[in-house]
Structure 1
Amino acid sequence: MTVQSEASTAQGIVLTDEAAGKVKALLEQEGRTDLRLRVAVQPGGCSGLRYQLFFDERELDGDVVVDFDGVGVVTDRMSAPYLTGATIDFVDTIEKQGFTIDNPNATGSCACGDSFN
């Protein structure tokens, strides 16, 4: 397991302050302090690859862990290359509420925005 600080994330994932705040709030609601936000890329969707964001207590061999103001973000070694430089944000507007991922590695996405290639 590799642990990085926010300053060294040019090669990894960036979690915005808004997203980190939402993750903290969700963990507080659950009453859990042992969970991290796991970000993974899995085959699927109409464009070939799909993001998965979920809370996880596991530590897998090769995981990359980045701490953002007390919020741990974990990426497995197979997903990490697809997520280099990606920014995870949380939006809360009339039109949309939820986590968004801005990924410079995605060359295209589907119309529904659920998957990328």
Structure 2
Amino acid sequence: MEKVVINSQGAPAAIGPYSQAIQIGTTLYSSGQIGLDPVSGELVSGFEQQVHRAFQNLQAVIEQAGGSMAQVVKFTLFLTDLSQFGVVNSIMQTYVPQPYPARSTVGVASLPRGALFEVEAIAVI
């Protein structure tokens, strides 16, 4: 099967040698999205704002592939502070309808550009 590179202007350009997402058949594999503003390329300030921006960036990539957040089957979340887990849950529910996808959450020491949160997804479109 052919690998299709997905790039959205609604999400920040890749900051390394990777694609925003790769689609193979009906399956979309996203790279991680952090809270970078897609216009300025700067990290937004504040934990909640970073979570919102990261989900908005991810949503833009999925929509560029012709999908929606409802088609996500697996999220992986990365937090530098696991005590913020409840905040992420609340925000995630504003972007993702039920039934919720599978999910893993990983506590990490640091993330690119000093981000506090990162999200990646697998979607079936």
TM-score, normalising length: structure 2: 0.27
Q: Which has the higher helix share?
A: 2
Q: Which has the higher strand share?
A: 1
